[in-house]
Amino acid sequence: MKKSKTSLGKRISDLWIFVSRDIWRVPKHEVKGLKNRFLNLIRTLILATKGFISDKLTTRASALTYTSLLAVVPIATITIGIARGFGFQKVIESYLTHLLPGQTEALNLLFKFVQSFLEVTQNGVVVGIGFVLLIISVWSILQSIDGAINDVFQIKKARSISSMLTDYLATMFLIPVLLILSSGFSVFMKTAIAQNEILSVLSPVVNILMTFIPYFICWLGFTLLYILIPRTKVKFGNALLAGFIAGFAFQAFQYMYISGQIWVNRYNAIYGSFAAIPLFLLWLQLSWTIVLLGTEVAFAAQNVQNFYFEKETKNVSDRYHYFISILIMNILCKRFEKEEGPMTANEISSQYEIPIRLTNHTIRRLVELHLISETYSINDKDVSAFQPAVDINKLTIGFLFKKMFEHGSEDFKLDTDILYKPHWEALCNLEQTIELKGLDCLIKDL
């Protein structure tokens, strides 16, 4: 009995070691095909979970929840306004009621606000100001989503105005249209079945298909979100995986939320109409948490090959930081000399097998040192790329080290002139020793 327990404990321990460390050390050439895809999927889920915790995305979800409260009426106005144009206003209102069970009072109040706004717009009263305020409100929530998602993707470059206009407007009008199509398709098929004898025979099959339509629309909506919002090119397969996981989680959450109708009614009996507020906040918080979880999955899937030895990058020695800095500078200098153009962080990470987080950290530091400059990729002007910012014929290893040694503040109240003079001179002597060690070699010549 003790032996079996020991054996089970060892298996669990071995599994934990494999998942936490050894899975990242499996050589690429040893595993191919379906097994490699399965391992990549496990790696992706591990990275997404770690990223979700380390990036503190529950706090981000709370911030998005607050911003959403300010934009909920404008977003509902755009959605219902577009639905009214298609003749599906009642269908969308019914869909939202189904989406938020137990929120009848809050939704009725929301619909009244939307109706008032649409009537004012139709009557031509302060149309321009009202429309501008509506767009600004929706724009603000899209910017918040943009910031949260691109922080996960570790993209610091600001989106261009033209990109904002195209991507934000596409998102602003595409998602309501998807909701309308989802609801409208159901209404259309029910009407068609009732009027057509042939379709009525296929009614069971059609009903099954109609059951899956909302899931498909949900997956498609999340997939488009992970393609349009990140300021980098996300492969469709990676966005689809993230969209499927986020869509499945969202639908499961909706099912549990709807199934908790009895609990919601009891909650309403205690708190009355005030119950609508905390319940709606809970729904928003969990919804944004799912959106950000999907973002982590998309980022992990996009960069899974660059995360080998990721655990070790959190404890990199100063010596290795210097080595990676020299390596990246050498790569960019050689490309500049050959007129091959700048490189993105992902390209450097993929081609030279440097962990992506270590690559991003080193690049940010080199930009701060004004040794490299940020520009845009040749293939995509919305993606940051990097090239040398100094004359490559003067850029020596000694110059790089000197820049890295001296970077940062040294203005502290420590007496380096008298009390700590020997300590400071020891450091200066070390710097001089390094400079005399033949570090006048140009980085491009390595």
Q: Which of 265, 290, 305 is the last residue of a domain?
A: 305
Total Cβ atoms within 10 A of residue 292: 24
Question: Is pLDDT of 50 > 90?
Answer: no
Question: Is pLDDT of 6 > 70?
Answer: no
Residues 89 and 224 in one domain: yes
**Number of helices (H) and strands (E), helices first, in the chain?**
18, 2
Chain-centre distance of CA 362, in angstroms? 21
Residues 259 and 124 in one domain: yes
Residues 95 and 190 in one domain: yes
Measured between alpha carbons, how far is 376 from 34 in angstroms, rounded to an integer? 36
Residues 283 and 359 in one domain: no
Q: Which domain holds residue 320?
A: 310-445
Residues 136 and 220 in one domain: yes
Question: Is pLDDT of 52 > 50?
Answer: yes
Residue bearing tokens 């099954």: 208
- Mean model confidence pLDDT for the chain: 75
Residues 84 and 48 in one domain: no
Q: What pLDDT, on the 0 to 100 scale, is given for residue 266?
A: 58
> Which three-class secondary structure state does DSSP give residue 363?
helix
Residues 344, 156 contacting (CB under 8 angstroms): no
Q: What pLDDT, on the 0 to 100 scale, is given for residue 126?
A: 46
Residues 116 and 258 in one domain: yes
CATH of the domain at 390: 1.10.10.10
Residues 39 and 60 in one domain: no
Residues 17 and 91 in one domain: no
Residues 195 and 222 in one domain: yes
Q: Which of 53, 70, 96 is the last residue of a domain?
A: 53
What integer is the mean pLDDT of 40-44? 82
Residues 63 and 48 in one domain: no
Residues 65 and 171 in one domain: yes
User: CA torsion sign, 287 to 290 to 294 to 299?
Assistant: positive
For residues 362 and 121, the model is more confident at 362
Report the relative pairing of strands 372-376 and 384-388 from DSSP bridges. Answer: antiparallel
The count of domains in the chain is: 3
User: CA torsion sign, 264 to 267 to 272 to 278?
Assistant: negative
Give the CA diameter of the chain.
100
Q: Which of 33, 53, 73 is the last residue of a domain?
A: 53
Q: What pLDDT, on the 0 to 100 scale, is given for residue 328?
A: 93
Total Cβ atoms within 10 A of residue 148: 21
pTM (2 d.p.): 0.66
